[in-house]
Structure 1
C-alpha cells in the first residue's frame, strides 16, 4: 500500500511557511493501519520488545496499533503536568525555548526493552529527549518507529545510535 497517498497536506499550518503532513486519513482506513503494522513487523521483531512508548499525542496512536499487533503493553510520553501520580521528567531545548516531557515513574521496569513511536520525525529533539527519559528510568531503547520523516530537518542525526524506521520520507 502506498501510504504517501493517504497523507494529507495543509500549507501554512500551524503557521505561515509550514507544510503540515497529516496522517489522520490513514486512521479511517483499517487496511492502511494494518499495512503500517505489517511494515513495522518486518523491521522490529516482537521478541525484542517489551513495551511500546507513544510520544504525545499522535505517537499514542501508532504505539497502540503496534502494541495490539505485537500483543504487548503501551505507555505514554506526555507533556509535563498531564500524567497522574509520580512522574519522571526531562527538559530539552526546542527551536525557540525549552519543553518538558514526562512518564509515570513506575511504568517501566529496569531493563525493559522499549520501542518509541511517533507519527512524525522532524528535528528529532523530542525523540532524543524521549530516549533519554526512558534510559533515565532504566529502560533500554530498542529503536524508533515513525510513520513520516521530514528528511531535510535531519532528525535522524540526533537518534542515529538507535535502530530507526520511518515509512514515508519527504
Structure 2
C-alpha cells in the first residue's frame, strides 16, 4: 500500500466515527497518557492542538498545563518546519496558517523541541513493526522528531485500528516510541 492510499483509508475510517465515539476515544487516550509516570514528571511537553477527526488534545493540553507542565505547541512556518511557542491557557491561542490554532506567545525556534521531556505527535497511523508514523505528507513532524533525543518518550495518539503493518518507509521518516489509542499504551521500542 502506498502512503496516499493509506492516508485516504484512515481518513475515511475516521470520518465514519461518530462525534460521541471520537470524544470517548479521546477521553481514554488522555487518561492513559496522564497515568504514565513519564508524563506526570515531564516539566516541558511538546504537544499539538488537534483538528478535525484527530484524537482530541485540547483537554490533554489543558490538563498538562493545569498540572504544572510547560506545554509548547507547534507554529507552522512558511517552510513547513515547526517553530514552538508556549501554551498559557485557552485564551492564548489564535488561528495560524490553515486556520490551525497556535499560541500567540514568543516563538522559541525549531530547536525548542530538543528540551522537551515528552513529545506528543499526531499521526494517521503507525507501523507496529517499525514505529514509523504516517502523517499528512508535509514532513513537518519528521523534521521535528529528528531533533528529539533518543531517550525522550515520543508518543503518537491514534484511534483504534490505526496501528498497522506495512506503512511504506522513506529515508526521512522518523519513528515514535509509543502509541496510545483507546485500547491503551503500546511500546514500539
**TM-score, with length taken from structure 2:** 0.48
Larger strand share, 1 or 2? 1
**Counterpart for residue 178 of structure 2:** 164
Once residues 60 and 49 of structure 1 are traced to their aligned partners in structure 2, the CA distance between those partners, rounded to angstroms, is 25
Q: CA distance change for structure 1 residues 22 and 30 in 2, over 3 Å: closer, same or farther?
A: closer
Q: CA distance change for structure 1 residues 56 and 102 in 2, over 3 Å: closer, same or farther?
A: farther
Q: CA distance change for structure 1 residues 133 and 103 in 2, over 3 Å: closer, same or farther?
A: same
Once residues 49 and 156 of structure 1 are traced to their aligned partners in structure 2, the CA distance between those partners, rounded to angstroms, is 32
Deviation at 1:68, TM superposition (A): 1.6
Q: Aligned pair count? A: 136
Any unmatched runs of 5+ in structure 1? 1-11, 82-88, 90-99
Once residues 58 and 117 of structure 1 are traced to their aligned partners in structure 2, the CA distance between those partners, rounded to angstroms, is 15
Once residues 27 and 182 of structure 2 are traced to their aligned partners in structure 1, the CA distance between those partners, rounded to angstroms, is 15
Deviation at 1:63, TM superposition (A): 3.8
Any unmatched runs of 5+ in structure 2? 85-106, 127-131, 184-189
Q: CA distance change for structure 1 residues 151 and 120 in 2, over 3 Å: closer, same or farther?
A: same
**TM-score, with length taken from structure 1:** 0.52
Which structure has more relative contact order (CA 8 Å, sep 6+)? It is 2
Once residues 167 and 64 of structure 1 are traced to their aligned partners in structure 2, the CA distance between those partners, rounded to angstroms, is 16
Alignment root-mean-square deviation, CA: 4.5
